[in-house]
Amino acid sequence: MPGIDLWILRSRRRLLGAVGLAVLAAVTWLTPAAAAPAEEVIVLPGASSAEGVAAGRGSTFYAGELFGGDIFRGDLQRGTAEQFIDAPPDHMALGLKLDDASGQLFVAGGFTGQGYVYDGTTGAAVATYQFGTPGTSIINDVVITQDGAWFTDSVQPKLYFVPISPTGTPGDFNVLTLTGPAADTSGDFNLNGIAATPDGRTLIVAHSTNGALYTVDPLTGASELLVAGVAPDGILYESGRLWVAEPFLNQVTRLRPNPDLTGAVVEDVITSELFQTPSTIALHGDQLAAVNAKFDTGFPPTADEYEVVLVER
């Protein structure tokens, strides 16, 4: 999520002219079964902001209220959502992911410098981590690997790792200091989204200031360029593909990385008239779910309503 006004203004100027809104539809009455599924909006009732979304078990999804920290839970098939967790005061909710094995929800706490763990079934608080100092740390996004959860910091060149035991218990966190291009903190807002290969041996981080994605060795912190020329917020890696939310381009780009993760090519650019600065994404079957963060209304955003948009992926 873009967390600093100056960064937002610079991003708008840098990306102005690149914004494209186009919806391509192919509907054939001879073969209705092959028609693209209809786009859909799922309102987050009562939300005053939004930023993160994560797929849960079955058709369940979770979404976070950026400035309030509340968590919504919904059903992607039914198109419904309701408040699930009423977070304590001063909490925030940015990127979030569900650990399928333990059923726990891991949430990045933004400007608080914190990360949160909730029970994904009951909503009960499991753990709170103070990764960084408020004001000098922005905990932005999280990804789950076989061993635990990795959180990004948009101000510090660091990743925070929370191990998850075989019984599902989150342990004490460790700090991984990055080297190489991903460690650049020269901008107002740097590390953003995070993803991982299925074996967890390579992390992929989005760098908003540099407009690039980098690979990171989770053992050493060494980073290398994967692809440049993107405007990333949340990212997602699945089945050999990378989905990149680009809020100020109002689109989601699907990339096909090289097998050795030394480069990537654009396979598709997903747009929708329903998008309004989509910040993070989740996948469910043939659908892509994107949160409308509505950063185009300001920061904090001032829209009357926030929602998750479902489109064909």
pLDDT in the model for residue 8 = 39
What domains does the chain contain, in order, with CATH numbers? Answer: 5-15+38-312 (2.120.10.30)
Report, in angstroms and rounded to the nearest whole number, the Rg of the chain calculated over CA atoms.
Answer: 18
- pLDDT digits 0-9 by tens, 43-55: 999 999 999 999 9
Higher pLDDT, 23 or 163: 163
Q: Is the pTM of this model over 0.75?
A: yes
Distance of CA 69 to CAs 49, 153, 264, Å?
9, 17, 34
Task: Give the burial class of 297: count Cβ atoms within 10 A of its Cβ; 0-12 exposed, 13-18 middle, 19 or more buried.
Answer: middle
- pLDDT digits 0-9 by tens, 183-226: 999 998 999 999 999 999 999 999 999 999 999 999 999 999 99
pLDDT in the model for residue 31 = 33
- pLDDT digits 0-9 by tens, 22-41: 332 333 233 333 333 568 99
Distance of CA 202 to CAs 74, 134, 218, 226, Å?
31, 29, 6, 12
Q: Prior bond to 37 cis, omega within 30?
A: no
pLDDT in the model for residue 48 = 97
Q: 3-17, 109-123, 266-280: which has the minimum mean pLDDT?
A: 3-17
- pLDDT digits 0-9 by tens, 99-131: 999 999 999 999 999 999 999 999 999 999 999
pLDDT in the model for residue 39 = 87
Could you tell me which residues come within 8 angstroms of residue 167 by beta carbon, excluding any fewer than 6 positions away? none
Contact at 8 Å (CB) between 235 and 256?
no
SS3 297: helix
User: In percent, how much of the chain has pLDDT > 70?
Assistant: 88
Q: How far apart are CA 140 and CA 194, in angstroms?
A: 9
Higher pLDDT, 30 or 179: 179
Q: How far apart are CA 193 and CA 151, in angstroms?
A: 9
Q: How far apart are CA 225 and CA 240, in angstroms?
A: 17
